[in-house]
Amino acid sequence: MDKKNIDWSNLGFGYIKTDKRYVSAYKNGAWDEGQLIEDDMITMSECACVLQYSQTIFEGLKAYTTQDGKIVVFRPDLNAERLANSARRMEMPVFPEDRFVDAVEQVVRANKAFVPPYGTGATLYLRPYMFGINPVIGVKPAEEFQFRIFATPVGPYFKGGAKPITIKVSDFDRAAPHGTGNIKAGLNYAMSLHAIVTAHKEGFDENMYLDAGSRTKVEETGGANFLFVTKDNKIVTPKSDSILPSITRRSLMVVAKEYLGLEVEEREVYFDEVKDFAECGLCGTAAVISPVGKIYDHGNEICFPSGMEEMGPVTKKLYDTLTGIQMGRIEAPKGWIKVID
C-alpha cells in the first residue's frame, strides 16, 4: 500500500480532504444501507434542522499504525455507544452500534494511504457525525438525518514533548445541570467558543469549568476531562451528570488500577481541594493526557508541584502505559484494539 506523500511529522491539527467518506441516510423511519462516496460536499435545504436548530452530534477517534505495522482503532464500540446515547438525548434515530463500527472500518480501509506510519506521532482522525437535514421551521426534531464519517490525517499533538499548560477558571458555564453536558453535541461547543477565545486572549490555554449550579465543583474543560493525582498517588476524576464521559479518561482509570496498581476514585471534586493535588492532567482522544502546570482563579494561582517543565511522574506513567497499549508495545485489555485488515 503506497502512502500519500505527506510530511507526517509536521502535520498540524487541520482538515485535509481524504479519498472516501461514509454516508447513510435516514428517511421514512429507516436507515439506508450506507455507502462510501468521494464527494466531500453536502447539499441541503436552507431550512435544514441542523442549520436552524443545531440538531447535530458527533464522535472523534483515531486510526493509527502499531509497532508491528497493523492499522488499528481504539475502542470504537464505546464511540458507537456514546453516539447512540447522544442521539437518544437529541431526539435523533440511533445508528446501530454494530453498523457504526463497520462504517469506521470501511472508512479506514478506504483511506489506508492516509494512515500515518508508526513512529511519526501522526494519526488518521475519524469524525463520525449525524445531523437533521430536512427543512424544519416550527421547532421540532427533523425526520430525515444523515450519519457520516470522514477521515483526516492529523499531526502529533505534542511536537517536541508535552509541556504543561496553564488554564483559568472560567466565568462562563459549559453545561447546565440536567442539560446536555453529558452528550457529544455540537451545541455544547458552539456556546463554549466565546469562552475559549476569551481565555486565549487573556493568555490561557484552556478553561476549567465549574458546575453551573453551585460553582464549587470541578467539571471539565471545553473538550477534555480532568484527572488529578493526590500526594499519596491516588487517581481522582470528577463525577457529575454534566461531564462528557471521555473514553480516554475511562481507559486511563482502568490502566491506573489494573496496570499500575493505583487506587482510583470517581467522585465529586470541590475546587477548594484542587490546591492539594500533586498533579493534574486533561484527557481526551487528541492528546491522551495534556499536563496542567498552573490554574489561575481570579487573581489566585494554583501551581502544581510537578511544575511547568514536564508531566508529573504519575501522569507520565499513565500516558506511557496507555500510549504503549494503543501502539502495541504493551498488551491491551481484551477488546480495546480493533485491527483493520
The least distance separating ligand PLP from the CB of residue 60, rounded to whole angstroms, comes to: 6
Cβ closest to ligand PLP, residue 181 vs residue 312? 181
Q: For residues 300 and 192, what is the distance between their CA atoms, to the nearest angstrom?
A: 23
Q: Contacting ligand PLP (CB under 6 A), which of 248, 290, 315, 326?
A: 248
x-marked contacts with ligand PLP along 53-82 as a string, rule CB under 6 A: -------x----------------------
Query: Binding of ligand PLP at residue 168 (CB under 6 A)?
Result: no
> In this structure, what is the dihedral angle of CA atoms 121, 295, 249, 95, given to the nearest 10 degrees?
-90
| Alpha helices, H only, the chain | 49-53, 76-89, 97-110, 186-190, 193-201, 247-254, 313-326
Catalytic site includes residue 184: yes
SS3 assignment, position 53 = helix
- Residue 5 CA to its chain's centroid (Å): 27
Cβ closest to ligand PLP, residue 227 vs residue 278? 227
The least distance separating ligand PLP from the CB of residue 19, rounded to whole angstroms, comes to: 25
Cβ closest to ligand PLP, residue 109 vs residue 250? 250
Q: Contacting ligand PLP (CB under 6 A), which of 247, 274, 311, 332?
A: 247
Here the cell at position 262 is 493505583
Residue 249 near residue 266 (C-beta atoms within 8 A)? no
Q: For residues 180 and 65, what is the distance between their CA atoms, to the nearest angstrom?
A: 34
Q: Contacting ligand PLP (CB under 6 A), which of 126, 133, 218, 224?
A: 224
Cβ closest to ligand PLP, residue 149 vs residue 244? 244
Q: For residues 148 and 128, what is the distance between their CA atoms, to the nearest angstrom?
A: 6
Number of residues that bind ligand PLP (CB under 6 A): 14
Q: What is the number of alpha carbons within 13 Å of residue 301 lying toward its C-beta? A: 9
Q: Which residues ranging from 281 to 320 are in contact with ligand PLP (CB under 6 A)?
A: 283-285
Residue 222 near residue 252 (C-beta atoms within 8 A)? no
Segment contacting ligand PLP by CB under 6 A, of 40-48, 247-255, 268-276, 314-322: 247-255
Here the cell at position 219 is 467539571
Residue 172 near residue 207 (C-beta atoms within 8 A)? yes
The least distance separating ligand PLP from the CB of residue 143, rounded to whole angstroms, comes to: 27
Query: Binding of ligand PLP at residue 324 (CB under 6 A)?
Result: no
Identified catalytic residue from 20, 62, 168, 184? 184
Q: Which residues are catalytic?
A: 184
Residues in contact with ligand PLP by the rule CB under 6 A:
60, 184, 220, 223-225, 244, 246-249, 283-285
